[in-house]
Amino acid sequence: MTRANEPIMINKTLVKNRLTMAPTVKFDYAGEDGKVTEKHIEHYRERAEHGCGLICVEATAVTPGGRFGKNHMGLWDDSQTDGHKRIVEACHNAGAAVIIQLNHAGLNSNPELGEQIAPSAVPTRNENVLSRELSIDEIHAIQEKYADAAVRAQKAGYDGVQLHACHSYLINQFVSKKTNLRADEYGGSVENRARFGAEIIRMIRERCGADFLISARTVGIEPDVATAIEIAEEYVKAGCDYLQVSTGIEWNDPSLKEEGEPYNLICKLGVLFHEHFKGRVPVSCVNGIMTPELVRYLIENELVDTVDFGRAILADPAICEAVLDGAPYVKCFECPRCQYGPAMPHKCPAALKRMKA
């Protein structure tokens, strides 16, 4: 039986336990220059010091125009690298492995920052405005931006990178038939729709070497689980080392049902992916994982390889110590609208409670 405190090797990166921090954007921490701030460094340092095995730093823009807000952290320029070195140093000093999520928001980019581009001309969040369809040359240029950002991440000392390939952002927009209407080599079949992300993985592998950890936060359903697994297979064939499973644009699989499990349907996607990829590629699950008991259940029953904390580790980083050695912690209040989210300033009631304790 696997235990939550057992290490796991992902590619050549040793992760000291099975607890990981999901990438959750701190919307008021960065400035318009996209640079790391002291708030970022302390935020990740605290989670590492409380025992998290692997930190995935929040969605980080690969181009200025690909941001979803003016205060979105970036790695599109060499001048941004020094701040990331300090995040890495803080995490490594506390014994945590650390990767960074690379992102382009595509048609969900902030229109104040540039054109809203996408695989095809489809409605943006403003349904009266269509995105602009990318040319082949533009697709290749954006792929280069991902690879350039990965090289900067490696120079900053990160153990690897994660591609943000879900949650309706650009890589997800390529794999979804709702947003990809193309008839060329980037549209149509599963292989073609996954090509954009798979080619980025190959480029990163070529430039950063065999030992660099490459993860994809991939769709668990698009429009069904079987298709989503086919998409992930393309990423694995391209050299992806680690699948961290979440949601995408579509959710049309009637076979995905609650069957009395102690975890929700989003978390179940990770469990289903683990069944498919077991022994080949480590798989992580996420969403609604708020208690040490559920983490232990998922790991000890070998339903997944690692567990991603989101709101629970924001509310109190001591959730990690609670899993590992039974230490006390403040449980996430599960607010309908997470108070660590875009509603600023941060006013998470659980975090405030632990600060007063």
User: Pick from 338, 220, 345, 213: which is nearest to 288 by CA?
Assistant: 338
Average of per-residue pLDDT across 8-34: 95
Report the pLDDT averaged over residues 134-158.
Answer: 98
- Span 229-252, average pLDDT: 97
Share of the chain above pLDDT 70, in %: 98
Distance, in Å, from the CA atom of 14 to the CA atom of 54, rounded to the nearest integer, reads 9
Residue 130, classed as helix, strand or coil, is strand
pLDDT mean over 7-20: 98
Q: pLDDT digits over 303-323, tens only?
A: 999 999 999 999 999 999 999
Residue 77, phi then psi, degrees to nearest 5? -145, 145
pLDDT grade for 172, boundaries at 50, 70 and 90: very high
Buried b (16+ CB within 10 A) or exposed e, 155-178: ebbbbbbbbbbbbbbbbbbbbbbe
**pLDDT given at position 334:** 93
How much is the pLDDT for 247? 97
Quick check: is 7 in a domain?
no
Residue 136 has pLDDT above 90, yes or no: yes
The reply to whether 2 falls in a domain is no
Is residue 3 assigned to a domain? no
Tens of pLDDT, residue by residue over 175-207, are 999 999 999 999 999 999 999 999 999 999 999
Which CATH number fits the domain that encloses residue 183? 3.20.20.70
The residue annotated as part of the active site, out of 169, 186, 235, 242, is 169
The answer to whether position 8 is within a domain reads no
pLDDT of residue 273 exceeding 80, the answer is: yes
Instruction: State the average pLDDT over residues 220-226.
Output: 97
Give the global pTM: 0.97
- Domain limits for position 134: 13-356
Give domain status of residue 171, yes or no: yes
pLDDT: which is higher, 29 or 225 = 225
Mean pLDDT, range 217-243, rounded to an integer? 98
Has residue 215 been placed in a domain?
yes
Both tokens of residue 86? 């300090």
Asked whether residue 1 is domain-assigned, the answer is no
Residue 321 falls within a domain, yes or no?
yes
Please say if 169 is a catalytic residue: yes
Look at the chain and report how many structural domains it folds into. Answer: 1
DSSP 8-state code for residue 57: E
